[in-house]
Amino acid sequence: MLKISKTDEIIFTPELIAKFNEILLRYPEDKQKSALLPVLHLVQAEYGWVSTPLMDKVADFLNLKPIEVYEVASFYTMFFLKPQGKYVLEVCRTGPCCLVGAEKIMTHIEAKLNVKEGEITPDGLFSWRGVECLAACGMGPVLQIGPDYTFYENLTADTVDDLIDRLRLTTVEKAQII
């Protein structure tokens, strides 16, 4: 899944560059820094995480100093600064979800995947972590999987098992938006 190592030369594909350019049109001239978050999201979706060489490349593209990209990527929790599994299960661990069993779901995932929070399964497929409120409190417990941030709601141990087994076999389903 991870397409680059630190030393590889990074070349953004023309498709990715086209998307960047489309985003840049949203802001006034000289305000291209505003594109940083959307661009980082696209980069992470493409490469799985944002490495330092990738951030340098983004800085180049947006005409920013590298530090301006580092400080932003490290501030926002959605950006991964180290490699992750192909599927990152992000479970909401905040109050309302905990009232309906989020902690049990996290314990269950840990046992099922047999890796600790933040670690990657040996096959490279999965990692998981607890995240703060995902604004789906009424449907708790919930987890999300990037890069399209599909939501899985009202989780039970069984539905989590199903989900993990299904992901092992197939690729992730497209976002459920209804």
Partner 1 sequence: MGRKLLLENINVPGINTFEVYRQHGGYRAVEKALKTMSTDDVVEEVKKSGLRGRGGAGFPTGMKWSFLAKPEGKPRYLVCNGDESEPGTFKDRFLMTHIPHLLIEGMIVSSYALGAKTSYIYVRGEMMPQIRILERAIAEAKNAGFLGKNILGSGYDLELYVQPGGGAYICGEETALIESLEGKRGNPRIKPPFPAISGLYNCPTVVNNVESIAAVVPIINDGADEYAKVGIGRSTGTKLISASGNLNKPGVYEIELGIPVEEFIYSDEYCGGIANGKRLKAVVAGGSSVPILPANLILKTATGESRLMSYESLAEGGFATGSMMGSGGFVAFDEDQCIVRNTWNFSRFYHHESCGQCSPCREGTGWMEKVLHRLEYGHGKMSDLDLLVDVAKKIEGNTICPLGDAAAWPVASAIRHFRDEFEWHVSHPAEAIERNYGLARYADPLPKAETVAAN
Residues of the shown chain interacting with partner 1 in the complex, contacts defined by CB under 8 A: 26, 28, 31, 33-38, 40-41, 68, 71-72, 75-79, 93-96, 98-100, 131-140, 144, 146-151, 175-178
The Cβ of residue 62 has, within 10 Å, a number of other Cβ atoms equal to 17
Q: Which residues contact 119 (CB under 8 A, 6 or more apart)?
A: 127
Least CB distance to partner 1 at residue 53 (A): 20
Between CA 94 and CA 82 the distance in angstroms is 24
Q: What are the strands, taking DSSP E only, across the chain?
A: 87-92, 126-131, 143-145, 150-152
Least CB distance to partner 1 at residue 20 (A): 13
42 vs 113, beta carbon nearer partner 1 = 42
Least CB distance to partner 1 at residue 9 (A): 26
Nearest to 37 by CA among 69, 5, 66: 69
77 vs 114, beta carbon nearer partner 1 = 77
Is 98 within any annotated ligand binding site? no
Region of 30 on the Ramachandran plot (φ > 0 left; ψ -120 to 50 alpha; else beta): left
Least CB distance to partner 1 at residue 72 (A): 6
8 vs 60, beta carbon nearer partner 1 = 60
70 vs 121, beta carbon nearer partner 1 = 70
As a whole number of Å, the end-to-end CA separation of the chain is: 29
Half-sphere exposure of residue 27, counting CA atoms within 13 Å on the CB side? 15
- Pick out the residues of the known binding site: 92, 97, 133, 137
- Specify binding-site residues for [2Fe-2S] cluster: 92, 97, 133, 137
